[in-house]
Chains A and B, each alone.
Chain A
Amino acid sequence: MSEGGAVNTVPVTPKARAQRGYLSQAVREAFVDWGTRLGALWIGVLIFIAVFAPFLANSHPLLLSEAGQVRSPLLEYLSAADVTLLVAFFSALALLWVPGTVRSKLLAWLAILALGGLLSWLLISPPKLSIYEQYRERQASGQYDWVITAPIPYSAKDYLRDYGAAGLEAPLASEERRHWLGTDENGADVLSRMIHATRIALGIGLVATGIAMLIGTIIGGLMGYFSGVVDMIGMRLVEIFEAIPVLFLLLTFVAFFGRNLYIMMVIIGITSWTGYARYVRAEFLKLRQQEFVQAAVACGLPLHSILFRHMLPNGMAPVLVAVSFSVASAILAEATLSFLGLGLVDDPSWGQMLNQAVQAATFNWWMAAFPGGAIFLTVFAYNLIGESMRDAIDPYLKKSSR
């Protein structure tokens, strides 16, 4: 096996090979696959869109000159969340260029994120009321010298009241206002709503999965390492949580606490950790008998080192595969809720747009095709990445495919 492996690998200097861990090796192998690259590309595009959503689709002009004074309503109306996302994005880009270990970079990024988030929530308070029509009216009446708008000059919640009840206009139907993907029943631009909805889609996937992974890894790890009574109690807990229908629980919570995105993320998270717990438990049960773990115990290493340094990194591979599938299913869960009309009221979400498509009296293909296509592509992209990660970490699959 080891001989075969040595022959397989492209000649690399021992130094470079030593620096490359098991996980980066697996990621490297996964990305040889074209499907994975396309999937990752799509996720990358979504991240870009989510971060720059206000700059891509906004009724507030980017720059305008009014009576000789230049100002930027777009920047004035940026919310704290927008700024935090921008800080996170640019600090991540900057840290990619700075040399350093992955761990120190991650810590630095989290610190910047926390600080930036805190400052922006404290300092930034955009005007509460936004009147989207004013710009168009003033521009029409010639009050502005010149105006630079965002590529899509409509906000997600701009219902175009100045045009009267337009509502449900097919893509590119009217000459004067250009709606690339049409408008929804309230008259809002579909493309703009879809752009702003990427934040919810990505956010709910990542946060819900993060919560699930954290809980699942801890409970599963404890079950696997201690086995015995801990294992028995843990498994009963897993069974109880698996017996709860997530959708039903979400409906109950929505009924009690109203429509709150964060509660949704948390609920999807705390009901979907069982899969991770099972994976990690199985891995830990196996690893506990491994001789290097026994050797670590025999060396008198403390428990946290045995659990987190010697066992966890060796047992994470199946969890990381499950992550990409579970992000996909969290996105679907949110879409389902919104589709059922239990999602957010006014905020855009792909599922909620699908719901509109169904509820309208006539079938409006653009309301179904574009958000549906976005959900499909995103879930598909995550699944593609998950599949090839699984293949990359599974030595048996690899052998048979060669």
Chain B
Amino acid sequence: MLLQIDNLSTQLRTGDEDVAAVDGISFHIERGETFCLVGESGSGKSVSALSVIQLLPKDITTHPSGRILFDYRHPDGSREQVDMLSLPEERKRQIRGSRIAMIFQEPMTSLNPVFTIGEQIIEAVQLHDPQLSYPAARTKAIAALEQVMIANAAERIDEYPHRLSGGQRQRVMIAMAMACEPDLLIADEPTTALDVTVQAEILRLMKELQARRGTSILFITHDFGVVAQMAHRVGVMRQGKIVESGRLADVLHNPQHAYTRQLLAALPENLKRQREAALAGQAQPPAPAEAESMVDLRGLQVYFPIKKGVLQRTVDYVKAVDGIDLQIPKGQILALVGESGCGKSTLGRAILRLTEPTAGQIQFAGRNITHLPRTRLRALRRQMQIVFQDPMSSLNPRLTVAATLTEPMKVHGIGASKEERLALAAQVLESVQLKADHLWRYPHEFSGGQRQRIGIARALALNPSFIICDEITSALDVSVQAEVLQLLLALRREHDLTLLFITHNISVVEYLSDEVAVMYAGKIVERGPTAQVCARPSHPYTQKLLAAVPRVPL
């Protein structure tokens, strides 16, 4: 047994009180095994990981109880079981990096931008093996980079982090962590910030390295798909406690705790199955006839100029949206799927003319709005709305919910008096399952899921016929995501809405949308009814994308 944690509690001091972030958890990790801690945000999974490697800020952290027993391998090969909590700082530092290594979630900020990646790996290597000469350490670093499949490692070792993509940086982080051949690798949401195809590669890489080196992995994630791919055993965390742990198959197929069942039921895959089961008895709704299109895009292009030199001459363009023809039929949910940087959000904004299109035509409800002057466009904005991804930044922090909801109404002449508008706003809030007295609160008083509902309420307040949902669930926990998705389906039925649902999450697409369009490098590569595209993708990119999606075997 490599790591054994007994009844560990971690308290963090905030202000004047101690908050139990981790509350008496116990688990163990065998050699060569992957243990996944899964849970929603704030459940204490990251604090557990940081407690193991003892990286929490010392002045605010206390461990009222528990032991973290680590099977320490001395450099001469002898073994000793040590308790990380009672070791002196000097010993902890020897263990960190050489025996326990860690990779973090955000590859963009976990490498130091002023050093080359080589310098950073070599420093780590030499710290843990001071006898190693510089050339030897460099050779070792190159080997480490080669192991994580960085092409041309001998040349790229002298690159600075900004020259690498997110996926490559995460590989460099893994190379750095693995360079000292640790016994335990702690991976804290290592693929959350990455695209699914890159995520698939990183996960495969970690599994390969684990098989070759026999490293144990403590894997922190919120994504059951990833858990299903990586874990041997799983612990489900909630409010600082492990509510259930066991072998992967047992937890997935035979969950014992109510919370685990609830989490699994909230997965979009399961939502879809539930809905199909519910609909099985009834007659299928008639397939939508060839409806007229709400939005009709012809050859839409959005180019961002790259300017250089003193005269700011345009040398090239970033072709964010590169000639798109797309019809969104009335009353349908069209999902726009693609990886980060493919231009899907830009397309969404261009349809609403929040970003000006470079060329092409946008027809909205049969009307060409491509060159409509701003003042005339303003009146039309009532018909088309957008809900944004980040619930933290999409509401004005200085305005009450009432002000946020009623100001657009006033501008568009909805409601005769202030009282009437407030009554309408209260109605809209209730329709997104919030309370009317929430009107008088400020955004910071709400949770992420509630804010996202307020964002939806703001869009609904104008009673639009078309709403763009730009990644609205990607910042939310899975159970909250389920609620928002169900809410969206209900609202669409009530208000006869047309939705453009922009997302990177294939399982959400499968649950929600009628049709799907797959976007890649500014172009739409495939489009069709959701079931058809997901079952029989025809374009190679779609095939690759669908294959990379981590699925939960159900």
Contact residues of A with B, CB < 8 Å? 2-5, 7-8, 14-15, 17-18, 21-22, 290-292, 294-302, 305, 309-310, 313-314, 402
Given contacts A18-B441, A310-B396, A313-B398, contact A300 B386 (CB under 8 A): no
Q: List 22 A-B contacts (CB under 8 A).
A: A3-B42, A4-B14, A5-B444, A15-B440, A18-B400, A22-B398, A290-B393, A291-B393, A291-B394, A295-B386, A295-B394, A295-B458, A296-B396, A297-B354, A298-B384, A300-B377, A300-B379, A300-B380, A300-B408, A301-B411, A302-B378, A305-B411
Which chain A positions have C-beta within 8 A of B397?
22, 292, 314
Which chain B positions have C-beta within 8 A of A5?
444
Given contacts A299-B411, A402-B60, contact A7 B14 (CB under 8 A): yes
A294 to B14 CA separation, bound complex (whole angstroms): 34
Given contacts A299-B385, A299-B408, contact A292 B396 (CB under 8 A): yes
Given contacts A18-B440, A300-B408, A302-B411, contact A292 B381 (CB under 8 A): no
With both chains docked as a complex, state the minimum distance between the C-beta of A200 and any C-beta of chain B, in angstroms: 36
In the complex, whether B19 has a CB less than 8 A from a CB of chain A is yes
Which chain A positions have C-beta within 8 A of B349?
294
Q: Are A299 and B15 in contact (CB under 8 A)?
A: no
With both chains docked as a complex, state the minimum distance between the C-beta of B364 and any C-beta of chain A, in angstroms: 13
Given contacts A295-B455, A299-B462, contact A21 B411 (CB under 8 A): no
A8 to B17 CA separation, bound complex (whole angstroms): 8
A323 to B378 CA separation, bound complex (whole angstroms): 36
Which chain B positions have C-beta within 8 A of A3?
42
In the complex, whether B520 has a CB less than 8 A from a CB of chain A is no
Which chain A positions have C-beta within 8 A of B352?
298
In the complex, whether B224 has a CB less than 8 A from a CB of chain A is no
Which chain A positions have C-beta within 8 A of B42?
3
Which B234-270 residues have C-beta < 8 A from chain A? none
Which chain A positions have C-beta within 8 A of B393?
290-292
Tell me whether chain A's interface is mostly helix, strand or loop, or mixed: helix
In the complex, whether B35 has a CB less than 8 A from a CB of chain A is no
Q: Are A300 and B445 in contact (CB under 8 A)?
A: no
Which chain A positions have C-beta within 8 A of B388?
291, 294-295
Among A7, A296, A305, A314, point to the contact of B398 (Cβ < 8 A).
A314
In the complex, whether B382 has a CB less than 8 A from a CB of chain A is yes
Q: Are B458 and A299 in contact (CB under 8 A)?
A: yes
Q: Are B381 and A299 in contact (CB under 8 A)?
A: yes
Among B377, B400, B407, B447, point to the contact of A305 (Cβ < 8 A).
B407
A290 to B462 CA separation, bound complex (whole angstroms): 21
Nearest 6 pairs of A and B residues by beta carbon: A300-B381, A299-B408, A291-B394, A291-B388, A300-B378, A8-B15
Which chain B positions have C-beta within 8 A of A22?
397-398
A294 to B470 CA separation, bound complex (whole angstroms): 12
With both chains docked as a complex, state the minimum distance between the C-beta of B187 and any C-beta of chain A, in angstroms: 23
Q: Are B394 and A14 in contact (CB under 8 A)?
A: no
A298 to B390 CA separation, bound complex (whole angstroms): 16
Given contacts A5-B444, A8-B14, contact A21 B398 (CB under 8 A): yes
Could you say which of B396, B441, B458 has the most chain A C-beta atoms within 10 Å of its C-beta?
B396
In the complex, whether B412 has a CB less than 8 A from a CB of chain A is yes
With both chains docked as a complex, state the minimum distance between the C-beta of A320 and any C-beta of chain B, in angstroms: 14
Which chain A positions have C-beta within 8 A of B386?
294-295, 298
A292 to B398 CA separation, bound complex (whole angstroms): 11
Chain B positions 340 through 375: 1 when the CB is less than 8 Å from some CB of chain A, otherwise 0? 000000000100101000000000000000000000
In the complex, whether B442 has a CB less than 8 A from a CB of chain A is yes
In the complex, whether B465 has a CB less than 8 A from a CB of chain A is no
Q: Are B382 and A300 in contact (CB under 8 A)?
A: yes
A214 to B382 CA separation, bound complex (whole angstroms): 34
Besides A5-B444, A8-B15, 16 more A-B contacts (Cβ < 8 Å) are: A7-B15, A7-B19, A14-B441, A14-B445, A21-B398, A22-B397, A290-B393, A292-B397, A294-B386, A295-B395, A299-B381, A299-B411, A299-B458, A300-B382, A309-B407, A402-B60
A298 to B404 CA separation, bound complex (whole angstroms): 13
In the complex, whether B170 has a CB less than 8 A from a CB of chain A is no
In the complex, whether B46 has a CB less than 8 A from a CB of chain A is no
Q: Are B412 and A300 in contact (CB under 8 A)?
A: yes
Could you say which of A15, A21, A299, A314 has the most chain B C-beta atoms within 10 Å of its C-beta?
A299
A21 to B399 CA separation, bound complex (whole angstroms): 9
Q: Are B440 and A2 in contact (CB under 8 A)?
A: no
In the complex, whether B503 has a CB less than 8 A from a CB of chain A is no
A15 to B17 CA separation, bound complex (whole angstroms): 24
Which chain A positions have C-beta within 8 A of B384?
298
Which chain A positions have C-beta within 8 A of B399?
309-310
Which chain B positions have C-beta within 8 A of A297?
354
Q: Are A314 and B15 in contact (CB under 8 A)?
A: no
In the complex, whether B389 has a CB less than 8 A from a CB of chain A is yes
Which chain A positions have C-beta within 8 A of B15?
7-8
Of chain A, the residue at the smallest CB distance from B405 is A299
With both chains docked as a complex, state the minimum distance between the C-beta of B392 and any C-beta of chain A, in angstroms: 8
A305 to B398 CA separation, bound complex (whole angstroms): 13
Which chain A positions have C-beta within 8 A of B400?
18
Q: Are A291 and B354 in contact (CB under 8 A)?
A: no
With both chains docked as a complex, state the minimum distance between the C-beta of A290 and any C-beta of chain B, in angstroms: 5
With both chains docked as a complex, state the minimum distance between the C-beta of A61 and any C-beta of chain B, in angstroms: 53
A297 to B411 CA separation, bound complex (whole angstroms): 12
Of chain A, the residue at the smallest CB distance from B386 is A298
With both chains docked as a complex, state the minimum distance between the C-beta of B19 and any C-beta of chain A, in angstroms: 6
A301 to B382 CA separation, bound complex (whole angstroms): 10
A310 to B458 CA separation, bound complex (whole angstroms): 15
With both chains docked as a complex, state the minimum distance between the C-beta of A206 and any C-beta of chain B, in angstroms: 25
Which chain B positions have C-beta within 8 A of A295?
386, 388, 394-395, 455, 458
A232 to B241 CA separation, bound complex (whole angstroms): 56
Which B14-62 residues have C-beta < 8 A from chain A? 14-15, 17, 19, 42, 60
Which chain A positions have C-beta within 8 A of B398?
21-22, 313-314
A60 to B458 CA separation, bound complex (whole angstroms): 66
Which chain B positions have C-beta within 8 A of A402?
14, 60
Of chain B, the residue at the smallest CB distance from A22 is B398
A290 to B400 CA separation, bound complex (whole angstroms): 18
Among B19, B354, B462, point to the contact of A294 (Cβ < 8 A).
B354
Q: Are A291 and B390 in contact (CB under 8 A)?
A: yes
Which chain A positions have C-beta within 8 A of B458?
295, 299
A296 to B378 CA separation, bound complex (whole angstroms): 11
Which chain B positions have C-beta within 8 A of A298?
352, 354, 381, 384-386
Of chain A, the residue at the smallest CB distance from B462 is A299
Which chain B positions have C-beta within 8 A of A314?
396-398
Of chain B, the residue at the smallest CB distance from A4 is B14
Which chain A positions have C-beta within 8 A of B379?
300
A2 to B447 CA separation, bound complex (whole angstroms): 8
Which chain B positions have C-beta within 8 A of A310?
396, 399
Which chain B positions have C-beta within 8 A of A313?
398
A14 to B442 CA separation, bound complex (whole angstroms): 10
Among A17, A292, A309, point to the contact of B445 (Cβ < 8 A).
A17
A313 to B400 CA separation, bound complex (whole angstroms): 13
Which chain A positions have C-beta within 8 A of B412?
300
Q: Are A301 and B407 in contact (CB under 8 A)?
A: yes
Which chain B positions have C-beta within 8 A of A309?
399, 407
Which chain A positions have C-beta within 8 A of B442?
18
Which chain A positions have C-beta within 8 A of B445?
14, 17-18
Of chain B, the residue at the smallest CB distance from A19 is B440
A36 to B444 CA separation, bound complex (whole angstroms): 27
